[in-house]
């Protein structure tokens, strides 16, 4: 013990470093391939080319052809191979170059993967992860820019996760690979190169983010903002702008679309009495629509002081022209406008 009056040196702060979402995903894949020999990665250009987005950089050289597998351009084919491998006891990670192309394989994802455990009375688990970029990128038009959170979140038998930060990306991918159910992991191409702070704990080999738990990214008292994936960052920016005007937003990073953490949203709404949902997807039957319905049906409805407001992508196929694209995706100004509308200021 220090002598009386002796100054105790402060304990060193936990090491925090900047890690891009790309590197966090690469780290997660590397650790899980090393940890469990049943895990393997397959998809277009994932091996020798190091991945279309360099998520699998270095993994083919380290683990070889049996663990990191380049496939033909046939989503229906390689997704089917992956689902069959999962039924046979392996743990595949199936990469779609964009989730728009998962439409080629949606029969495998829904009819083969999602429903089999139920239809076999629990005797055939399907431990598979379908992952890749989802939602809008930049300048790639309608056939590469759709958000499938509502589509896959609609289906019982699937778990659906949607990370924002590097911590989300690493922890959710590792949790998804270890889960015995099929998981759809919807990443954002525009976030791959974005660095986030990651603690020493988040960089450890046993760091997992539990599926089905949202995270409060910012505490607030006036309005609840709920988002997933890239729009979480827009909400944080909008919250910083509104804070200068005396409005304190509570920002909830949903992290998981299915099963949805409605309790976290309810607890926040009880505190703030106002709700705004933000998503890049289309408005009709969207994630925000589901959140609003669940709040209306539950106990938190009695705490609302104004109707909930949704901020969504425009109800059109994504335009190619940049100025039109910008107007089709929720921007910070749209969130600020929605908050002021719901607060009547």
Catalytic residues: 75, 144
Burial class of residue 342, CB neighbours in 10 A (0-12, 13-18, 19+): buried
Which region holds residue 131: left if phi is over 0, alpha if psi is between -120 and 50, else beta?
beta
3-state helix, strand, coil in the chain (%, to 5): 40, 15, 45
| Alpha carbon distance 150, 282 (integer Å) | 9
Give the residue from 176, 163, 156 showing the smallest Cα distance to 32. 176
* DSSP-assigned letters across all residues of 190-239: GGTT-EEEEETTTTSTT----TT--EEEE--SSEEEEE-STHHHHHHHHH
- With beta carbons less than 8 A apart as the criterion, state whether 69 and 40 touch: yes
- With beta carbons less than 8 A apart as the criterion, state whether 41 and 68 touch: yes
- With beta carbons less than 8 A apart as the criterion, state whether 79 and 130 touch: yes
């Amino acid at each position: 013990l220090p002598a009386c009056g002796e100054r105790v040196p402060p304990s060193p702060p936990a090491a925090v470093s900047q890690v891009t979402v790309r590197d966090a995903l690469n780290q997660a894949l590397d650790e899980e391939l090393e940890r469990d020999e049943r895990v393997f990665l397959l998809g277009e250009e994932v091996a020798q080319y190091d991945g279309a987005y360099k998520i699998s950089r270095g993994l083919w050289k380290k683990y070889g052809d049996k663990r990191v597998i380049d496939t033909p351009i046939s989503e229906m084919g390689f997704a089917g191979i992956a689902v069959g491998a999962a039924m046979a006891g392996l743990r595949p990670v199936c990469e779609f170059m964009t989730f728009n192309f998962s439409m080629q394989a949606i029969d495998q994802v829904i009819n083969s993967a999602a429903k089999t455990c139920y239809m076999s009375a629990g005797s055939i688990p399907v431990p598979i992860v379908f992952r890749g970029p989802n939602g809008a990128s930049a300048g790639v038009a309608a056939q590469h820019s759709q958000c499938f959170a509502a589509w896959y979140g609609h289906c019982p038998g699937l778990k659906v996760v949607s990370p924002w930060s590097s911590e989300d990306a690493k922890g959710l991918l590792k949790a998804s690979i270890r889960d015995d159910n099929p998981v759809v992991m919807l990443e954002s191409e525009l976030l791959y190169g974005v660095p986030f702070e990651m603690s020493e704990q988040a960089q450890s080999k046993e760091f997992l983010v539990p599926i089905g738990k949202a995270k409060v990214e910012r505490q607030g008292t006036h309005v609840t903002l709920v988002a997933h994936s890239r729009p979480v960052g827009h909400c944080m920016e909008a919250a910083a702008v509104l804070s200068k005007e005396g409005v304190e937003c509570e920002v909830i990073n949903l992290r998981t679309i299915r099963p949805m953490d409605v309790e976290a949203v309810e607890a926040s709404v009880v505190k703030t009495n106002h709700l705004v949902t933000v998503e890049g997807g289309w408005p009709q039957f969207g994630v925000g629509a589901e959140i609003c319905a669940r709040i209306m049906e539950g106990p938190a409805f009695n705490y609302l002081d104004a109707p909930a407001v949704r901020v969504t992508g425009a109800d059109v196929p994504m335009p190619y022209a940049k100025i039109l694209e910008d107007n089709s995706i929720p921007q910070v100004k749209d969130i600020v406008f929605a908050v002021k509308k719901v607060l009547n200021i």
